[in-house]
Amino acid sequence: MEITDTLLKGEHIASSDEDNDRLWSEVSVGFDTHRNFVVELEETGPTGRTYTRAVVDMDNTALLCNRFGTGLLELPAAMRKEFGDDFPNYPPSRMKAVFKDIADFLVETGCKFTVRTYTLPR
C-alpha cells in the first residue's frame, strides 16, 4: 500500500482545532484502493505530515460489519456514528487517543489488522 492511496467512501471521525495551523491532526475511516478497511490518523507538524493506518483485510472487515449489523458500504458511517464527534475542538495530541480507542475496539471485536506509518517531509 502506498500513502497516496485515497480513502474511498471515507468518513471523518474527529480532528483537532483548525485554527492551529502548525500542528493539526485528524482521524478518518474508509477503504483503500485494495478494498481494505482503513482507520487513518493524519498528523501535520513542523517537520512534515505523518500517516498512521490500521489496515483491516476483507475477512476481518466482515467481523466489523457483523458487529454493527451493517453492510460493507455502510461500515464507515457506522464507525462515524460510534466514534465520531460533530463538534470537535481537540488538541492534536488527543487524536492519538481517538485512534487508539478505535484500534482497541477492533481488537475487542476480534479483528486482526496491521499498522503502518508513513512520514512525508515538508
- 82-122 per-position pLDDT tens digit: 998 765 667 777 889 999 999 999 999 999 999 999 998 87
Judging by DSSP bridges, how do beta strands 24-31 and 8-15 pair with one another? antiparallel
As for how many domains the chain has, the answer is 1
Q: Which stretches of 1-121 are DSSP H helices?
A: 58-68, 75-83, 92-109
- 21-69 per-position pLDDT tens digit: 567 888 999 998 888 999 999 988 878 889 999 999 999 999 999 999 9
Range of the domain at 40: 8-121
- Reported as a pLDDT band with limits 50, 70 and 90, residue 12 is low
Say if residues 52 and 117 touch (Cβ distance below 8 Å): yes
Is position 110 within any domain?
yes
Is position 1 within any domain?
no
Say if residues 72 and 61 touch (Cβ distance below 8 Å): yes
Using the predicted structure, report yes or no on whether residue 10 has a pLDDT greater than 70.
yes
- 66-91 per-position pLDDT tens digit: 999 999 999 999 999 999 876 566 77
Cβ-proximal residues to 4 (8 Å cutoff; 6+ apart), any chain:
none
Is position 2 within any domain?
no
Is position 21 within any domain?
yes
CA pair distance 31, 14, nearest whole angstrom: 17
Largest Cα–Cα distance of the chain, in whole Å? 42
